[in-house]
Structure 1
Amino acid sequence: MMAVEMRELGEADAEAFSALRRLVTADNPVPMGLTLEEELSRPMQGFRDQLSAPAPNAAFGVFADGQLRACAALAWTNRFSSSMHKALLWGCFVEPGFRERGLGRQAVSRALDHARQNSVRRVNLTVFLPNQAAVNLYASLGFQPYGLEPEAVCLGGNYHDGQHMTLVL
Structure 2
Amino acid sequence: MQIKRLCAQDAGDYYAIRLEALNMNPEAFAVSYLEEKGQLAEKYLKRFRNDDSFTFGAFDDDGLIGTVTLIPEKLVKLNHRASIVAMYVKPEKRGNGVAKQLIKEAITTARTIKGIEQIHLAVVSSNKAANSLYASFGFETYGIEKNALKIDGTYFDEELMVLFLK
TM-score, length-scaled by structure 1: 0.88
Task: Confirm or deny that 1:135 pairs with 2:155.
Answer: no
RMSD: 1.7
Percent of paired sites with the same residue: 28
Question: Structure 2: how far apart are the matches of 1:42 and 1:105?
Answer: 29
Residue matched to 1:101:
96
**How far 1:79 moved relative to its partner?**
4.7
Residue matched to 1:51:
48
Question: Structure 2: how far apart are the matches of 1:109 and 1:76?
Answer: 16
How many residue pairs align between the two structures?
164
Residue matched to 1:78:
74
Question: Given residue 10 of structure 1, which amino acid in structure 2 is its aligned partner?
Answer: C
Task: Confirm or deny that 1:116 pairs with 2:111.
Answer: yes
1:106-132: per-residue Cα shift (whole Å, max 9, x none)? 011001000011142100001123211
**63, 69, 72: which is aligned to 2:65?**
69
- Which sections of structure 2, spanning at least 5 residues, go unmatched? none
1:143-164: per-residue Cα shift (whole Å, max 9, x none)? 0001111111111211111211
Mapped contact 2:73–2:80 kept (Cα < 8 A): no
Task: Confirm or deny that 1:166 pairs with 2:162.
Answer: yes
Structure 1 SS opposite 2:109: helix
Mapped contact 1:33–1:128 kept (Cα < 8 A): no
1:72-106: per-residue Cα shift (whole Å, max 9, x none)? 111122152x4322101112110111011100110
Mapped contact 1:34–1:153 kept (Cα < 8 A): no
Structure 1 SS opposite 2:59: strand
**9, 32, 35: which is aligned to 1:35?**
32
**How far 1:23 moved relative to its partner?**
1.7
